[in-house]
Amino acid sequence: MKSLRTKIIVSFVIIVVITGATATVVGVHLIGERIIKQAQEKVGTDLNSAREIYLNEVNSIKTIVRLTAERFYIKDSLIKNDIVKLNSEIAAVRQNENLDVLTLTDNAGRVIVRSRNPALTGDSQDQCALVQKVLSEKTAFASAEIISAKELSKESADLVERAYFKFVYTPRAKPTEKTEETAGMMIKAAAPVADYNGNVLGILYGGNLINRNYKIVDKVKETVFRGQVYNGKEIGTATIFQNDHRISTNVHTRENERAIGTRLAADVYDRVLVQGQPWIERAFVVNDWYFTAYEPIKNINGRIIGILYVGLLEDKFIDMERETVWFFLSITIIGIITALGLAYFLANSITRPLRNLAQAAHKFAEGDLGQKVAVESGDEIGEVGNAFNLMVTSIKERDDKLKQQTQQVVFRSDRLAMIGQLAAGVAHEINNPLAGIRTYVKLINKEIGEMGIADGDFQKYLNLMDRETLRCSEVVRNLLNFARQTEPRLQMIDVNSVIKEALAFTEHQVILQDIKVEKNFSPLPQILADFSQLQQVFMNIIINACDAMTTKGHLSLSTHWLKTADLLEIIIQDTGSGIPADILPHIFEPFFTTKKKGTGLGLSVVYGIITQHKGTIAVDTTVGVGTTFVVKLPVNRDKAD
Ligand SMILES: Nc1ncnc2c1ncn2[C@@H]1O[C@H](COP(=O)(O)OP(=O)(O)O)[C@@H](O)[C@H]1O
Ligand SMILES: [Mg+2]
């Protein structure tokens, strides 16, 4: 069985833990979901901004190329076939506009002017999709295109070098057997150069290699994410993929270098590169988890050749989530500690008085009746304490009374048995000589009568002798009664009538002393007992009662049938002097008397007879108030005894 205190404390803690845990789980879930959802939504819109920036770049190159193609000097020089002039004009534009490539072909796609590498001309560019498109549509176009290393090498060796990279191992990337990439990705625009009649004379194309050119991605980072940094890491990142490799990015490796050559996670690969769908959810990027958005980049023919990506580092949000968890957890923990303290205090204030009470009750049960508990509160517990104290007091009072009575009974029976034996012996010895003396007294009386010498005095002395001897034998008879030496004559009798007769015998004394007698007799079953012996019992008790009441008194007699115990109870109560405590233990002893003319045999005889009838007698007395004798007799209906 657990203690009440443990139960209270455990209940408190359970409540707090459940509430705390629920609040934590719900709070964290709600906040987490909201934070994450918002972050992810933001990344979705960030991708739109990134696309705008990317398309802006494409358009600006397209515009440069288109406007250059429409310039008078270019047209004029081409019509006049002034290659030197074309070279200088185009070179100036490329320089001013900061283009990697700006090349002019004739209307069959054959290179006339290659501003990046003027020495190399005459090669055909008609395999270029953009050039083909411009030739057929006669208007300007721009897009991202994959440019082979061979084509790049025609322009310049450093473009080949910028495009080239080895694949870097990336966790979660799609396995591949390729280890390097030599082609590059270029934002390329092409526009027709037409004569005044609208006939296409040539095609001007130009562009910028995206590989290791960070203009677009850094612009996205600066404008969209405002370059925010968290724990030394860029929060917002942007990347352009060529196929599945990062060729321009501000995602960094652990060595804090731009993660060029690292590869796309396999699941994103399948969705974006294979299925052509955007990916807007979390993804593993190089080394960390990001909220991400990917969408395919297509070339002029609509083929997917790369990916535009923006991503928001999860760290900040995960930390926010973790902080929220901790916040809720610490509230819960503080709650638990407070609840523990409170429960401990409360439990103590309940259990301490209870424990004291239990201890007191234990000691009380072991017989230490002096137990009381301190009542500290006016609540139910205090009430229990008060009730306990009250109970202890009344039990102690009753116990004190009972103790006195039972002690007397025990004391008496031991002592009286001894005195009884002694008395019986003495009585036997005295009985015969007494009988002899009385016989001789009678004889002498008769003799002197016959002799005629009976004179007054002599006769008087003899009569006195006879009377005193009679008294002696009376004493002896009483002694024998007390010592149970006389056999009772048993018959079925009604105890009520025994008492009534005893009262009749003592009536003269009652009337003389003007004692008020109150009788309260209940119907009693007949019992097997000695009528005259019981009569003697009640007479002795009644006479003693009358003796004790010097002035007007009140004598009450009552009988009861205690059915469950099958006992007759006779209560004789007087309003007499009461019996002082020091003489109370002696009243049943033979020859003990406090009266001038008393024999001290009355109660000893009462005791002997009651004991012989297997009954009990008890006394309850208060000095100055009165005395009550309680006689209990078993309801003995059996002749065989
Ligand atoms: N009802 C009583 N009230 C007061 N004292 C009593 C009463 N009954 C008995 N006693 C005391 O007990 C003593 C013994 O009584 P008992 O044996 O009848 O002898 P006796 O009556 O001859 O004195 C009495 O002397 C008296 O002191
Ligand atoms: Mg008496």
Give the residue extent of every domain in the chain. 8-334, 369-481, 487-641
Please tell me the distance from the alpha carbon of residue 546 to that of residue 515, in angstroms, as a whole number.
8
Residue 641 reports pLDDT greater than 70: no
- Which strands sit side by side in the sheet containing 141-147, from one edge to the other? 111-114, 101-106, 200-209, 184-194, 141-147
Taking only the tens place, the pLDDT of each residue in 438-468 is 888 888 888 887 877 766 777 788 888 888 8
* pLDDT for the residue numbered 417: 64
- Mean of the per-residue pLDDT values for the chain? 88
* Tokens at 19, concatenated: 């509430």
* pLDDT for the residue numbered 51: 95
pTM score, whole prediction = 0.55
Taking only the tens place, the pLDDT of each residue in 239-286 is 999 999 999 999 988 888 999 999 999 999 999 999 999 999 988 888
Burial 186-210 (b: 16+ CB within 10 A, else e): bbbbbbbbbeeeeeebbbbbbbbbb
515: burial class by Cβ within 10 Å (0-12, 13-18, 19+)?
Answer: buried
Nearest CA-CA partner of 562 in 641, 498, 493, 495 = 495
627 lines ligand 1 (CB under 6 A): yes
Report which listed range, 170-184, 458-472, 481-495, is most confident: 170-184
Contact yes or no for 209/152 (Cβ under 8 A)? yes
Nearest CA-CA partner of 392 in 346, 418, 359, 435 = 359
Residue 636 reports pLDDT greater than 80: no
* pLDDT for the residue numbered 8: 82
Helix (H) or strand (E) holding 101: strand 101-106
Please tell me the distance from the alpha carbon of residue 251 to that of residue 292, in angstroms, as a whole number.
12
500 alpha carbon to ligand 1 midpoint, in Å? Answer: 21
Three-class DSSP labels, 248-283: EECCECCCCCECCCCECEHHHHHHHHHCCCCEEEEE
CATH number of 8-334: 3.30.450.20
Top pLDDT among 35 and 561 is at 561
Least confident of 105-119, 422-436, 546-560, 591-605: 422-436
* pLDDT for the residue numbered 318: 82
- Residue 30 CB neighbours (<10 A): 11
Residue of the CA atom closest to atom 9 of ligand 1: 544
* pLDDT for the residue numbered 260: 93
Single-letter amino acid, residue 142: A
DSSP 8-state code for residue 306: E
pLDDT band at residue 94 using 50, 70 and 90 as cut-offs = very high
Indicate the top mutation candidate among 539, 557, 587, 622 to test ligand 1's pocket, ranked by most ligand atoms within 8 A of CB. 587
- Mean pLDDT on 56-63: 96
- Mean pLDDT on 278-303: 92
Residue 289 reports pLDDT greater than 80: yes
Contact yes or no for 473/512 (Cβ under 8 A)? no
CATH number of 369-481: 1.10.287
Query: Percentage of residues in the chain with pLDDT exceeding 70?
Result: 95
* pLDDT for the residue numbered 484: 60
Least confident of 178-187, 538-547, 580-589: 580-589
Indicate the top mutation candidate among 479, 482, 537, 544 to test ligand 1's pocket, ranked by most ligand atoms within 8 A of CB. 544
CATH number of 487-641: 3.30.565.10
201 lines ligand 1 (CB under 6 A): no
Least confident of 228-237, 309-318, 369-378: 369-378
Taking only the tens place, the pLDDT of each residue in 34-52 is 878 888 899 999 999 999 9
Ligand number nearest CA of 603 is: 1
Residue 411 reports pLDDT greater than 50: no
Mind giving me the DSSP string for 210-231? -TT--HHHHHHHHHHSTT-EET
Residue 305 reports pLDDT greater than 80: yes
